């Protein structure tokens, strides 16, 4: 799947975000190795610590659907920001748990530009099971 199509999926799903407090919609589209795309949105809670980001929503949905560590091929993250919208640090750590360091991560901005990075670019010194 082309990165533009994956990003379009992330852009479209962000409209379903539950954001009554921040008014900051985020969408994520996770590409699985079998070609399946699983979407996620941020889901807020008045207790901010209970809020879940779009990237984690997509990953946790994939795990719930039977996918496993190593099944993830790429992720696209979309918001309405002037600059590229990267995953938060918690999401980066969750990505490090389930994805390979060279997995593509696509970020966008409100102008629909796409920046392509790898997970290792976002989290160069990830804490992994090798650190246990």
* Confidence (pTM): 0.94
Tell me the CATH class for 3-125.
alpha beta
Residue 91 labelled as part of a binding site: yes
Look up 55 and say whether it is catalytic: yes
pLDDT of 54: 98
pLDDT on residue 132: 66
- Over its C-alpha atoms, the chain yields an Rg (Å, rounded) of 14
Catalytic residue among 15, 55, 97, 116: 55
3-state secondary structure at position 61: helix
Residues 6+ apart with CB under 8 A from 97: 69, 128
Residues 38, 54: contact at Cβ < 8 Å? no
88 is in an annotated binding site: yes
Between CA 22 and CA 74 the distance in angstroms is: 27
Q: Chain-centre distance of CA 15, in angstroms? A: 15
* pLDDT tens digits along 14-64: 999 999 999 999 999 999 999 999 999 999 999 988 999 999 999 999 999
Q: Is 99 annotated as a binding residue?
A: no
With pLDDT > 90 as the criterion, what percentage of the chain qualifies? Answer: 92
């Amino acid at each position: 799947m082309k990165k533009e199509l994956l990003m379009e999926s992330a852009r479209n799903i962000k409209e379903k975000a539950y954001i009554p407090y921040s008014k900051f919609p985020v969408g994520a589209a996770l590409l699985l190795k079998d070609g399946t795309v699983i979407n996620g949105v941020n889901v807020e809670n008045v207790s901010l610590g209970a809020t879940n980001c779009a990237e984690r929503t997509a990953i946790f949905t994939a795990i719930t659907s039977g996918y496993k560590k190593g099944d993830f091929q790429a992720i696209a993250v979309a918001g309405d920001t002037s600059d590229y919208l990267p995953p938060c640090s918690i999401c980066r750590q969750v990505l490090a748990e389930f994805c390979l360091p060279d997995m593509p991560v696509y970020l966008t901005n409100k102008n629909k530009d796409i920046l392509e990075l790898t997970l290792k670019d976002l989290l160069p010194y990830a804490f992994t099971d090798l650190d246990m």
